[in-house]
Amino acid sequence: MAARKSTKKPNVSAEELKQYYRDMLLIRRFEEKAGQLYGMGLIGGFCHLYIGQEAVVVGLEATAEEGDKRITTYRDHGHMLACGMNPDGVMAELTGREGGYSRGKGGSMHMFSKEKDFYGGHGIVGANVPLGAGLAFADKYKGTDRVTFTYFGDGAANQGQVYETFNMAALWDLPVVFVIENNQYAMGTSQQRSTSTPEIYTRGDAFGIPGEAVDGMDVLAVRDAGQKAVKHCRAGKGPYILEIKTYRYRGHSMSDPAKYRTREEVQKMREEKDAIEHVRDLLLQGEHATEEDLKAIDKEIKDVVNASAEFAKESPEPDEAELWTDIYAETTPQKA
C-alpha cells in the first residue's frame, strides 16, 4: 500500500482519526458480511454494497449535529451505520426479519430511523432529492438551523427532478447539502458514456448554488468540505453541492458481473486509493496508534459484525399479521 503524498499536516486529533478508522471499518466489514449472507441466500432481492465509498459518509457524519437529517438512495447501509443506527437492526432488515428497522417490511433499499433522523433508504433513483429538500424546507419553516444531507449518485444526477429541486432549494434558500457520490458508474454505464459535462459539481451554477469537487477516498478532505458546506447552510445561505469522487469496489448490486470495467481498474483503486488504508497509514505514521491498537479495533469490529449476523439469522420472520399493519396511520387527536 503506497502512502499518499500529503503536503500539509492534517488538522485532526488522534481520537478523531481512530474514530474514522473504526467507523469506516465497521461499514466495510458489515458489507462483506452482508455479501456473504447474500451468497448463502439469507439476504434476498437487490443488495447494493458500499465497499470503497466509506470515507464519504464517515467524513460527512463528522460534520453533523444533533437534529441534522440525512436521506439517500438504495446504497444505504453505510449511511445508516455512520449515523449511529444499530448494526443488528440493519442486518436483520437485510435478512427480512422482525428485528429489522422496518420489521422486515422494507429490506435493503427501504430502511428508516426517525430516532437517528435517517429518512431512508429510497429505491427510486433521484426521488430522494426533492424529499431531502422537503426535509430542509420543514426545518426552515419551523425556524431551526438544522441541515439535511441529501445523498445521491452520479447516475441520479441526470434525473430531471434533481434540477427541479436545485431550482427551488436555491429560490427558497433551503438548508440542504446535496452530496453527489460520484462512484463513476451508473450501474454499468460509465460517467463519460452518460454525462455530457463530467464536472457535476458545476451543475448548480445555473441556479446559483456553490459546489465543489472533493476527493472521496480521503476522509479528511470530505470532512473539511462538509464543514464548509454545513456552515453555509446553517448560516441561512441556501443549498450547497459537494461532488465527492469515490469508487465502489463491488458490482452495482450482488448480481452485477461488472463487465463494464477491468479487474485491474478496481485493483488499482484498492491498492492506491483505499480510504481505510489511508487513515491506517496516518495513524501509524503519526504514531497515534500501534499495529496492536489497530488489531484490537479490527477484532472489536469483527465481533460487532458477527453479532449482527447472528442476530439477523436468529431473529424470527415477521408475524403473518404484519402483512396487514402499517398501511395506514391511525388517526390521532389534532391540535384544537
Partner 1 sequence: MATEILMPALSPTMEEGTLAKWLVKEGDTVSAGDILAEIETDKATMEFEAVDEGTLGKILVAEGTEGVKVNTPIAVLLEEGESADDIDTAGASGAGAPASAEPEPEAAKGADTPAPARAAAPQAPAPDRSPDWPEGTETRNQTVREALNAAIAEELRRDDDVFLMGEEVAEYEGAYKITQGLLDEFGARRIIDTPITEHGFAGIGVGAAFGGLRPIVEFMTWNFAMQAIDQIINSAAKTLYMSGGQMGCPMVFRGPNGAAARVGAQHSQDYAAWYAHIPGLRVVQPYSASDYKGLFKSAVRDPNPVIFLENEILYGKSFEVPVMDDFTVPFGKARVWREGGDVTLVSFGIGMTYAMEAAEKLAEDGVQAEVIDLRTLRPMDTDTVVASVMKTNRCVTIEEGWPVASIGNHISAVLMSRAFDYLDAPVINCTGKDVPMPYAANLEKMALTSTDEVLEAVRQVTYR
Considering only residues 166 through 205, tell me which ones interact with partner 1, judged by CB under 8 A.
167-168, 171
Binding mask 254-293 for partner 1 (x = CB under 8 A): xx-xxx---x------x-----------------------
How far apart, in Å, are the Cα atoms of 9 and each of 5, 69, 90, 261?
11, 31, 36, 35
Beta strands at 185-186 and 189-190: parallel, antiparallel or unpaired: antiparallel
Among 141, 285, 299, 303, binds partner 1 (CB under 8 A): 141
> If DSSP codes are grouped into helix, strand and coil, which group holds residue 324?
helix
Cα torsion 53, 121, 184, 259: sign:
positive
Separation CA 202–CA 167 (nearest Å): 14
Residue nearer to partner 1 on the CB measure, 228 or 313:
313
Binding to partner 1 in span 95-124, by CB under 8 A: 100-106, 110-114, 119-124
Q: Does 206 bind partner 1 (CB under 8 A)?
A: no
Among 17, 90, 133, 244, binds partner 1 (CB under 8 A): 133
Cα torsion 190, 274, 210, 129: sign:
positive
Residue nearer to partner 1 on the CB measure, 14 or 206:
206
Binding to partner 1 in span 27-56, by CB under 8 A: 32, 35-42, 44-46
Residue nearer to partner 1 on the CB measure, 34 or 282:
34
Separation CA 26–CA 32 (nearest Å): 10
> Backbone phi, then psi, for 328, in 5-degree steps?
-125, 140
Residue nearer to partner 1 on the CB measure, 44 or 286:
44
Task: Compute the least distance from the CB of residue 313 to partner 1, in Å.
Answer: 7
Contact stretch for partner 1 (CB under 8 A) within 80-88, 251-259, 281-289, 293-301? 251-259
What is the residue whose three cell numbers read 484498492? 270
Q: 37, 64 in Cβ contact below 8 A?
A: no
Among 7, 196, 197, 334, binds partner 1 (CB under 8 A): 334
Binding to partner 1 in span 56-75, by CB under 8 A: 69, 71
Residue nearer to partner 1 on the CB measure, 19 or 161:
161
In sequence order, what DSSP letters do the residues of 61-72 get, joined into one string? HTT--TT-EEEE
Separation CA 194–CA 191 (nearest Å): 5
Binding to partner 1 in span 312-331, by CB under 8 A: 313, 324-331
Cα angle value 112/50/46 (rounded, 5°): 65
Q: Does 335 bind partner 1 (CB under 8 A)?
A: yes
Separation CA 69–CA 216 (nearest Å): 21
Residue nearer to partner 1 on the CB measure, 111 or 221:
111
